[in-house]
Amino acid sequence: MAKKGEKKYFDIHAPVFYPAAIIVLATILVSFFYSESLVESFAFFQEKTSEYAGWFFILSMNIFVVAALWFAFSKFGKIRLGGPKARPQFSTFSWFSMLFSAGLGIGLMFYGVAEPMFHYGNPPLPVDSVAERAENAMLFTFLHYGFHGWAPYVIIGLALAFFTFNKGYPLTISSLFRPLIGNKVNGFWGHLIDVLAVIATLFGLATTLGIGVQQIGSGLEYLFGIENTTKTHITLIICITLAATTSVVFGLDKGVRFLSVVNMRLALLFLIFILFIGPTSFIMDGLIQNVGNYLNSLIKVGTWAETYQDNNWQHSWTVFYWAWWISWSPFVGMFIARVSKGRTVKEFILGVLLVPSLLVFVWMSVFGGAAIFVESQGLAPIAQSVSDDLSTALFVLLEEFPLSSITSFIGIILVTIFFVTSSDSGSLVIDSITSGGKLDAPVGQRIFWALLEGGVAASLLFAGGLKALQSAVISAGLPFAIIILLIIYSLAREFTKTTHKIWLKAKEKEQQAYLEQLKNIINSEDDED
């Protein structure tokens, strides 16, 4: 129930809410009535972006990683988000669960088997042996889900947490530009930044949700014989969006936190089962080798731009991934910021950058390693299945292990919960941006954005399937990459000012302590006289 003076259903920030809502609604309508034209427009923009700005995505992601590590291990690392006396609101496990569920979501389930096997069957680099084929497959999978991917989350989340909890600014992306453009954040440029953040978030979520329902559809077809069609996908989006909307109504603590913790525990049980029922020794050997190979090759593959081997592989994978991660950064960063008050800058960065990456490495090594083992031993043609349909990869693998019907059902449940946690986390964040930075906007507003997320995913799937989703997310990711680069500069300026103030206060205390000590010495000498 709304408190006196509060709005019960909507509390909008008009200059951001209305333009964002109009653009999103227009996209949905055009998708249904002019689908061919929309798909062609997105495809054209994706082609030109990949061709002329692929290098920019690669450079930007590397800058994000370097900046994050610099913030962590510099003098800024000791700054506490929320002030010196602030303490974490959530336990470490709950914190990891929420940022892991929000930050990865469906992609982990969809690509855990599909990506290693696709690269195994279609090597991005020339290979001379099966071993090298497997090694490169895991290397590029780690690249796409490792440190680079989490870096934009770190930048956005850190900046939002600091500017909100330490500086007292509204929880909006535009607030991060106050050190650069001053009060203009309250005008056109600030509103434009927030609108771009909302659009990027919605397209990023739509891509994820669209991928998720394709996998759920494949699972339902495998278990129950339900035909995996666009109609099925849209029906699933409607049902799961309603579930996400229900979670949104309960809010951050009762809804999102509860589902995230449940999801994390179920995912760990699923992981452990495959690890021990599958080729355990092969997987563990692979995990150690995969991590070592990734760390050893990080600079090389992180800066690889396919300059001398242009077969369009990178445009379809790395550039798409970087745009996808970037488009998710406004909502994941803002969500992480909301749950990270009380942690130091260093703790925040290492927690967001390293821990989820390590968990992903384990996950990809277990599922990708098991798939490579099955394929290399000739037990099942997983690579061919992935080539035919990426969404079937997980279920084709599970067929080779005991209790495949049960594990496949659990897989569907996990994808569904990831769907819900991503959607409701995104709704809470968009709700905050479009209400002018309020942490607890009215329920009606949350429901509105949760429904629109499902609408965008359904409309883009209807218009052109996965290709349309990928094109949309690349279109949204490019302008926001520029915004993140500017945020790094803005955050560095404010960190410098803050540490300088801390230094001045420390010097002042030292001076006062010295004067007090000197006074005591003088007084003691007077007493002796």
- DSSP sequence for 263-314: HHHHHHHHHHHHHHHS-HHHHHHHHHHHHHHHHHHHHHHHT---TT--SSHH
On the question of pLDDT at 14 being above 60, the answer is: yes
For the ranges 229-243, 297-311, 366-380, the maximum mean pLDDT occurs at: 366-380
pLDDT at position 1 is 40
Higher pLDDT, 282 or 103: 282
pLDDT at position 473 is 76
On the question of pLDDT at 20 being above 80, the answer is: yes
On the question of pLDDT at 481 being above 90, the answer is: yes
pLDDT at position 2 is 46
CA distance 214 to 287: 28
CA distance 224 to 279: 28
Indicate the pLDDT class of residue 338, thresholds 50, 70 and 90. confident
What burial class does residue 523 get, using C-beta atoms within 10 Å of its C-beta: 0-12 exposed, 13-18 middle, 19+ buried? exposed
Q: Map out the domains of the chain as residue ranges.
A: 14-65+105-303+316-476
**Smallest Cα–Cα separation from 76: which of 494, 423, 509?**
494
What burial class does residue 415 get, using C-beta atoms within 10 Å of its C-beta: 0-12 exposed, 13-18 middle, 19+ buried? buried
pLDDT digits (tens, 9 = 90+) for 238-263: 887 887 777 666 655 555 667 767 77
Indicate the pLDDT class of residue 287, thresholds 50, 70 and 90. very high
Residue range 164-190: average pLDDT? 89
For the ranges 218-222, 367-371, 409-413, the maximum mean pLDDT occurs at: 367-371
On the question of pLDDT at 281 being above 90, the answer is: yes
pLDDT at position 418 is 76
For the ranges 12-21, 133-142, 316-325, 520-529, the maximum mean pLDDT occurs at: 133-142
Indicate the pLDDT class of residue 288, thresholds 50, 70 and 90. very high
pLDDT at position 239 is 85
pLDDT at position 469 is 66
Residue range 149-173: average pLDDT? 92
On the question of pLDDT at 105 being above 80, the answer is: no
Distances (CA, A) of 39 to 43, 214, 280: 6, 19, 44
Residue range 478-506: average pLDDT? 86
Residue range 293-303: average pLDDT? 94
Largest CA-CA distance found in the chain, in angstroms, rounded: 101
Higher pLDDT, 158 or 36: 158
CA distance 106 to 109: 5
CB 335 within 8 A of CB 104: no
Indicate the pLDDT class of residue 380, thresholds 50, 70 and 90. confident
pLDDT at position 85 is 85
Tokens 């089962």, residue? Answer: 273
Q: What angle do CA 251, 256, 260 make, to 5 degrees?
A: 170
For 377, the token pair is 């031993």
Residues 6+ apart with CB under 8 A from 179: 490, 493, 494
Residue range 281-296: average pLDDT? 96
On the question of pLDDT at 5 being above 50, the answer is: no
CATH number of 14-65+105-303+316-476: 1.20.1740
The pTM assigned to this predicted structure is 0.85
| Mean pLDDT estimate for the chain | 83
Residue range 209-232: average pLDDT? 84
Residue range 73-97: average pLDDT? 85
Indicate the pLDDT class of residue 316, thresholds 50, 70 and 90. confident
On the question of pLDDT at 355 being above 80, the answer is: yes
Residue range 277-303: average pLDDT? 95
Indicate the pLDDT class of residue 4, thresholds 50, 70 and 90. very low
On the question of pLDDT at 519 being above 90, the answer is: no
pLDDT at position 299 is 94
Q: What angle do CA 26, 102, 415 make, to 5 degrees?
A: 85
For 494, the token pair is 């404010």
pLDDT at position 10 is 65
For 300, the token pair is 């090389």
Residue range 68-91: average pLDDT? 89
Tell me the percentage of the chain whose pLDDT exceeds 70: 88
pLDDT at position 526 is 60
CB 310 within 8 A of CB 129: no
**Smallest Cα–Cα separation from 3: which of 442, 518, 477, 527?**
442
